[in-house]
């Protein structure tokens, strides 16, 4: 059996070299910030975490995250979370065990089109955020997803549990309910956000000049690598 001492001790060894130089107080601040950016649903404010406020501690925190392929992400002034490092993300996306089932992906794309892409095209969402107050109506997901009701429900249940979508209840003022992108979308790096935007352009307007430009740039990048 695995008592907590044995394997857990082995596990803290990973971070020990980074934590060792610090006194007890600093060490506890680093651990608190580490747990907060990794496990809180939303970005956490730096006013509550010394290790996020102070640049030297923040560098150590970034190194702690790096050991597990994670990186520190500033989502807005004074708010931080963590996400996958770009190279790690690419490697994970190539691993079938790490990608979502195709039905889940289809539903997620529909949510993104209705709650982010369309409002952005209408000028309702301006910056490059992937969060949105405009829910994709369930009826629209039913109609467009080509999935049976139970497949759609299963996909939405898994997406909700993963924090990839959030359900918005219909309001009393006849505001319609539905689904918006979930808190995980805070955890995208700038490169991941850009990539997602590009993929959506390629899917929604494959013949547009913008799509042609994206394809040309990617061809250039691939040549640059080889």
Residues in the site for another protein, rule: CB under 8 A?
1-2, 4, 7-8, 10-15, 19, 27-28, 31-32, 34-36, 39-42, 44, 48-49, 64, 66-70, 84-85, 87-88, 90-92, 95, 97-98, 157-158, 160-161, 163, 183, 225
Find, among 161, 156, 163, the residue nearest to 185 by Cα.
163
Token reading at 27: 């060490």
Residue 110 structure tokens: 């529909």
* Distance (Å, whole) CA 78 – CA 65: 19
Residue among 42 and 128 whose Cβ is closer to another protein: 42
DSSP for 97-142, written as a single string: GGS--HHHHHHHHHHHIIIIIHHHHTTS--SS-S--SSPBPHHHHH
Q: Which is nearer to another protein, 69 or 119 (CB)?
A: 69
Minimum distance from residue 138 beta carbon to another protein (Å): 16
Closer by beta carbon to another protein, 80 or else 130: 80
Query: CA 121 to CA 132: how far, in whole Å?
Result: 13
* Of residues 34 and 130, the one with the C-beta less far from another protein: 34
């Amino acid at each position: 059996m695995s008592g907590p001492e044995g394997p857990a001790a082995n596990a803290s060894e990973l971070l020990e070299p980074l934590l060792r130089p610090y006194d007890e107080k600093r060490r506890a601040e680093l651990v608190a910030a580490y747990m907060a950016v990794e496990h809180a649903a939303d970005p956490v404010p730096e006013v509550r975490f010394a290790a996020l406020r102070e640049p030297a501690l923040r560098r150590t925190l970034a190194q702690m995250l790096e050991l597990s392929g994670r990186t520190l992400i500033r989502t807005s002034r004074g708010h931080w979370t963590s996400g996958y490092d770009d190279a790690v993300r690419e490697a994970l996306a190539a691993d079938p065990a790490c990608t979502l089932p195709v039905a889940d992906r289809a539903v997620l794309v529909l949510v993104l089109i209705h709650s982010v892409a369309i409002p952005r095209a209408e000028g309702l969402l301006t910056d490059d955020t992937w969060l949105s107050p405009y829910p994709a109506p369930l009826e629209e997901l039913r109609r467009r997803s080509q999935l049976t009701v139970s497949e759609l429900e299963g996909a939405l249940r898994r997406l909700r549990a993963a924090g990839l979508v959030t359900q918005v209840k219909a309001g009393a003022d006849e505001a319609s309910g539905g689904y918006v992108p979930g808190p995980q979308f805070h955890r995208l790096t700038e490169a991941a956000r850009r990539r997602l935007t590009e993929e959506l352009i390629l899917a929604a307007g494959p013949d547009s000049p913008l799509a042609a430009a994206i394809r040309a740039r990617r061809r250039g990048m691939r040549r640059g690598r080889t």
